[in-house]
Amino acid sequence: MEDILIYFFTYKEAIFIIALSIFLGIEVISNVPAVLHTPLMSGANAISGVIIIGGIILVGHADVSQLSIELILGILAVFFGTLNVIGGFVVTDRMLEMFKKKKKK
Amino acid sequence: MMDTILGTINGVDFTIGETILELSYLLSAIFFVVGLKLLSHPESARKGNFYAAGGMLLAMITTILLHKNESGQAIGLANIGIITATIAAGGLVGSVIARKVKMTAMPQLVSFFNATGGAASALVALLEYPNADPSNTGSMLVTILGLIIGSIAFSGSMIAYGKLDGKVGDLTAGYMKYINLLFLILVTVTGTWLVVSNTPVEEMQWAIYSLFALTLVYGILFVMPIGGADMPVVISLLNSFTGIAAAMAGFIYNNQAMILGGILVGAAGSILTILMVRAMNRSLVNVLVGAFGGGGASADQVQGIIKEISVSDASILLSYSQSVVIVPGYGLAVAQAQHVCHELDNLLEGKGVQVRYAIHPVAGRMPGHMNVLLAEADVPYDKLVEMEDINPDMPNTDVVIVIGANDVVNPAADDDPSSPIYGMPIIRTHEAKNIIVMKRGMGKGYAGIENFLFFNDKTRMLFGNAKDSIQKLVTEIKTL
């Protein structure tokens, strides 16, 4: 119990961010029209690729003088994270381009 | 210059570089929020996607250039080389996949990219575990949660990908419920133990890898029994999992951009999940445990005769109507009939018939699936009408064509309290003057229940592959 309280105090800013982002997330996407369900999901999916920052930090400070399992898994994390980010944004753009084209007709 | 010390907080110096890095994270977080906001309006959606991507790029670049570990060391040159090469490779593979894959494979693709995000989160948590302090319950908790949620998102999304791609079948056996429960307990117990055991991490390596393996298996088992019409729910749920897993990793690094980005996605995904669940009038637990199937007693007692219609009769009926509504379902996607369907609607419009599409929120296999499918076939999106808006017009509609949809048009949802889908909002096709149902055979829908609509006096069945049937209609109508 004491641990949790200490943790809360140490990370209070982060915990505030969490609490407020939940409301923000709900507010920002409420009333989204059904046409945009797929692109929104796909775009949000790309944002969750923000985990790549973790991967970069991990590999950034890893010992690269020799090839260890940790290094390989870290590189894999960066690779997967990039797939998520780049693939996600590109595919969302492709979808939205399709919608846009139709609108002008 | 980046190492110039700006000031001191609690006895720790901070430099210009660190300040710029934090500022860039703030900027990225703002870009994420604005991007997501713009993404939820049709006119600004594309711009929103660019903003979010820009925020991500900024955070990636500043992290590589300015990040320092606790002992104040910057990222080494060799490390930067490896990171850049990996990102280049991932970016190349990702953009090629995203550009080359057919638009109709969109649900699979979204699932696949979601899986990669989950995998990255799980790996980061796994690798950060040895650096965690076992006596700090809070930091153990976020690490373990990040690992669990990330690996479920990964293996679950891979199974969802396999199902949508037709490579993996559904496993709906009743005992799956118990196996799943067993694994859930195993995961929870192992996870809790790892959080509270307060044992040096070196001695717990085997446990963390076991937990990793257990959760991967659990993710597979969790998605295996869920299928068909419930896929949109699972896909948006897994999407929100990936966001939450990224936020947990944000805690490990005390990185605000990661926390905010992850939680935003988690919240957005949860909302979408709730929307989908509501569109089926079911609870999330009900979807996950998979209580569909079976069917009430009266469901099997449908009395009536199935009446077929010939292509030429259907063509005449359609050509001389004033208002036609097409109700697309997953069957349209499977038959790849969206282009020929658009041809049919153009042809009819040319004859002065008003043609619209009625879109049920859970038609297809992901949220908004029908919209993407029809957009690919160049159907203007003002022709796609949402369920609530089209239903009042149903009694004035001359012909409704149901293409590959089943449960979303079953009147049992309205008037049979014993039906498993009772209470689910449906497109009220049975109120139209004539109904043509295109179907491959007399099979039941995903819910495994009889569709009263097929036995309706106003209903005519047009059996066969949807694409062939519509093609024949198009050919026939052209000769009229």
> What's the pLDDT tens digit per position in A68-89?
989 999 999 999 999 999 999 9
Residue range B129-148, pLDDT digits in tens: 998 888 888 889 999 999 99
Q: Which one is catalytic: B230, B407, B415, B416? A: B407
Residue range B222-246, pLDDT digits in tens: 888 887 778 888 999 999 999 999 9
Q: Do B120 and A49 touch (CB under 8 A)?
A: yes
- Pick the closest to residue B327 from B396, B399, B381 (CA basis): B399
8 A C-beta contact, residue B303 and residue B455: yes
B53, B63, B137: residue with CB nearest A4: B137
- B141 vs B440 pLDDT, higher one: B141
Q: Mapping DSSP to helix (H, G, I), strand (E, B) and coil, where does residue B436 land?
A: strand
To the nearest whole Å, the CA of B247 is away from the closest chain A CA by 8
User: How far is Cα A51 from Cα B259, in angstroms, rounded to an integer?
Assistant: 9
Whether residue A16 lies within 8 A of chain B, CB to CB, comes out as no
- Stretch 67-96 of chain A: residues touching chain B, C-beta under 8 Å: 70, 73-96
- For A64, the closest chain B residue by CA position comes to B79
B170 counts as catalytic: no
Considering the domain architecture, whether residues A1 and A41 belong to the same structural domain is answered as no
The pLDDT confidence band at residue B411, using thresholds 50, 70 and 90, is confident
Residue A17 has pLDDT above 90, yes or no: no
Considering the domain architecture, whether residues A19 and A39 belong to the same structural domain is answered as no
CA angle B209, B122, A37 (to 5 degrees): 145
Considering the domain architecture, whether residues A53 and A17 belong to the same structural domain is answered as no
* Residue range B297-479, CATH number: 3.40.50.1220
Considering the domain architecture, whether residues A39 and A27 belong to the same structural domain is answered as no
8 A C-beta contact, residue B231 and residue B366: yes
Q: Which of B28-32, B69-73, B345-349, B403-407 has the highest mean pLDDT?
A: B28-32
For residue A67, give its domain range: 35-104
Considering the domain architecture, whether residues A66 and A26 belong to the same structural domain is answered as no
| CB atoms near residue B16 (< 10 Å) | 14
Pick the range with the lowest mean pLDDT from A43-57, B447-461, B462-476.
B447-461
Q: Do A80 and B116 touch (CB under 8 A)?
A: yes
To the nearest whole Å, the CA of B231 is away from the closest chain A CA by 13
Q: Can you say whether the dihedral through the CA atoms of B27, B33, B39, B44 is positive or negative?
A: negative
Structural domains counted in chain A: 2
Q: Which of A45, A66, A70, A105 to mutate to test the interface with B (most CBs of B within 10 A)?
A: A45
Q: Which residues of A touch B135 (CB under 8 A)?
A: 3
Considering the domain architecture, whether residues A24 and A73 belong to the same structural domain is answered as no
Angstrom distances, CA of residue B239 to CA of B69, B117, B200, B262, B366: 30, 9, 34, 10, 11
**Mean pLDDT across A44-65:** 93
pLDDT at B105: 85
| Domains in chain B: boundaries | 105-292, 297-479
pLDDT at B189: 93
Angstrom distances, CA of residue B473 to CA of A46, B139, B357, B433: 41, 64, 17, 20
Considering the domain architecture, whether residues A45 and A85 belong to the same structural domain is answered as yes
The pLDDT confidence band at residue A43, using thresholds 50, 70 and 90, is very high
